[in-house]
Structure 1
Amino acid sequence: MIFGICNLSITPIRAEASDKSEMTSQMLFGEHFTILEKGKYWSKVRISFDEYEGYVDNKQFEEISEEIFHRLSTKEPIYSGEVIDFITSSTNDLITIPLGSRLPNFINNEFIMNSKRYAYDGAVFSGILPKNEIIKNAFTYLNTPFLWGGKTPFGIDCSGFTQMAYKLCGYKLLRDSKQQAKQGEVLSFIEESEPGDLAFFDNEEGEIIHVGIILNDYHIIHAHGKVRIDTLDHSGIFNADLQKHTHKLRVIKKMI
């Protein structure tokens, strides 16, 4: 078995082994993974955090040992807490990192990744945080443009948004909205929900296609065009700008 780690600020994960293929997700700096198939130019990988699979350019990651992989998989993660910041390597290389990048073995403003030492003096997230912190994280992404497969404050999709808001608080959500909809506890009514719970929405075929984070007073924050706040009612999401419902409510779930 071969293992790897993302050593760039953001690396695209694609549906097929080609730069022209659809970007289905992203890896952020410090994310580790299993290499399922190693090709000449591309590798099929499985992300350790959420077991999401896709193809990554071989030039955009480093291989790591099985020992390092298992250490990262069992150790409590520490994530960067700035919208954007940079790290400095021991050879004075600067790498920008987005919010939610992992800092392996971080201590005293330093960390080591695959034997290379880095310095970082920004804010961090670690441990399990209270549920209300999910809302604070969600607001950090407000007005971020929608980007299919995106997971950063510079472009994010609906399920990447919910996953990152929870991830920074120490909770694991799967990558896609239809996968996230299989997690948690079903609530019967909006009135039973509390801020931080998730609302899922389906299409005419009954397929889950959208997710957002419930706020107080019948509002929801979600990624649709951009990360925005809209009204939530028993029918779904009402967009005040368009003066119409844009998403049909399917189910509300309590994740924590």
Structure 2
Amino acid sequence: MTMPQQFALDRRLHAFRPDLADARLRGKVEAERFAEGKPMRVALPVVDLREAPRVDSGPQTQLLLGDEVRVFEEADGWCWVQAVRDGYVGYASDFSIENPRGAPTHMVCVPRTFVYPGPDLRFPHTRALSLGSRIAITGEAETRGTRYSILESGEAIIARHVRPVGEHADDYVAVAETLLHTPYLWGGASGFGIDCSGLVQLSMLMTGRNVLRDTDMQAATIGTIVEPDADYGNLRRGDLVFWKGHVAIMADDGTLIHANGHTMSVTFEPLRGAIERIAYLYDYPTVIRRPD
């Protein structure tokens, strides 16, 4: 992925502070000391990545179980990290990050699923996982005709709810459509709550494509620009419609799907209706991009 110049030293994507910086930025930024970053992995189902090391600092994005991070500092209950997948920098609670063990073998491929203490859906579940979570599977079992995949911990998950890492969905729009009615959550990036650019990123992740997190980043880096007709009649499924601070996915030539604060959910909406509704409060679309 080519990084546009406007993000060359964007603090969302580069770990540097006056006292500490990523060693890869030596010679580009000034800091009292530099650190290589310790490879670690997310240990909880969903982890908020915050702008500051405080619980009242709202999440800028979220990390999912199994996501790889580089840890530059551990102090006062917080880790200062950079996500390997999209480069996002922020603070995560120290108990949510662990040393990597075996590499994940499978990825959750449904919006949400439960983990059980053993291979039986009648057992009380131990946790819930989001689409895109990465886990290590060590075996299989069957109970009353239902197939389970067995985790390293001995816990079990419905086998058809995971697929091997490296096996990808074909259509990112179809993935987004599985998240219909998921609650809108500012900074959300999971099947439990998601925002507009999180929907784009998570859906594309499931097709094997890593894209940047925020709308301004996506508007500058995904695919190629499409010049819309006066009536937007030349748009097609998969095109991305960007406003300042918002993005929606074309589900067909006249309908979009997006996570939005208007309905507080992932929903379908007629393109023309969305354009006029958003223009009334904010402005018209700024750019249309067609993923490669």
TM-score by length of 1: 0.79
The one of 152, 158, 178 equivalent to 1:121 is 158
- Aligned pair 1:87/2:126, yes or no? no
- 1:197 Cα deviation from its structure 2 partner: 1.9
The residue number in structure 1 matching 2:75 is 39
CA contact (8 A) 1:84 1:97 kept: yes
The one of 242, 255, 273 equivalent to 1:200 is 242
The 3 A distance-change label for structure 1 pair 220 and 247 is farther
The residue number in structure 1 matching 2:16 is none
TM-score by length of 2: 0.70
Q: What secondary structure is seen at the aligned counterpart in 1 of 2:99? A: strand
- 1:64 Cα deviation from its structure 2 partner: 2.5
Task: Count how many residue pairs are aligned between Structure 1 and Structure 2.
Answer: 233
CA contact (8 A) 1:236 1:246 kept: no
1:180, 1:174 → 2: CA distance? 6
The residue number in structure 2 matching 1:29 is 65
Q: What secondary structure is seen at the aligned counterpart in 2 of 1:249? A: coil
For the pair shown, which has the larger CA radius of gyration, 1 or 2? 2
Flag structure 1 segments of 5+ consecutive residues without an equivalent: 203-208
Structure having the larger proportion of residues in strand: 1
CA contact (8 A) 1:236 1:247 kept: no
The 3 A distance-change label for structure 1 pair 218 and 172 is same
Flag structure 2 segments of 5+ consecutive residues without an equivalent: 1-36, 141-148
The 3 A distance-change label for structure 1 pair 38 and 213 is same
The residue number in structure 2 matching 1:134 is 172
CA contact (8 A) 2:235 2:253 kept: no
Q: What secondary structure is seen at the aligned counterpart in 1 of 2:174? A: helix
Greater shift in the superposed pair: 244-253 or 30-39 = 244-253
CA contact (8 A) 2:43 2:97 kept: yes
Deviation track 1:58-102 (CA, whole Å, cap 9, x = no partner) reads 01221237xx6xx66xxxx74212332223568x99232122211
Percent of residue pairs bearing the same amino acid type: 27
The 3 A distance-change label for structure 1 pair 106 and 25 is farther
1:146, 1:83 → 2: CA distance? 14
1:40, 1:244 → 2: CA distance? 46
Q: What secondary structure is seen at the aligned counterpart in 2 of 1:162? A: helix
Greater shift in the superposed pair: 42-51 or 116-125 = 116-125
Amino acid of the structure 2 residue aligned with 1:37? E
The 3 A distance-change label for structure 1 pair 247 and 236 is farther
CA contact (8 A) 1:185 1:254 kept: yes
Deviation track 1:101-144 (CA, whole Å, cap 9, x = no partner) reads 112467752454xxx565333422453432xx222211222222
Q: What secondary structure is seen at the aligned counterpart in 2 of 1:193? A: coil
Q: What secondary structure is seen at the aligned counterpart in 1 of 2:200? A: helix
CA contact (8 A) 1:230 1:238 kept: no
The residue number in structure 1 matching 2:30 is none
The residue number in structure 2 matching 1:10 is 46
The 3 A distance-change label for structure 1 pair 104 and 248 is farther
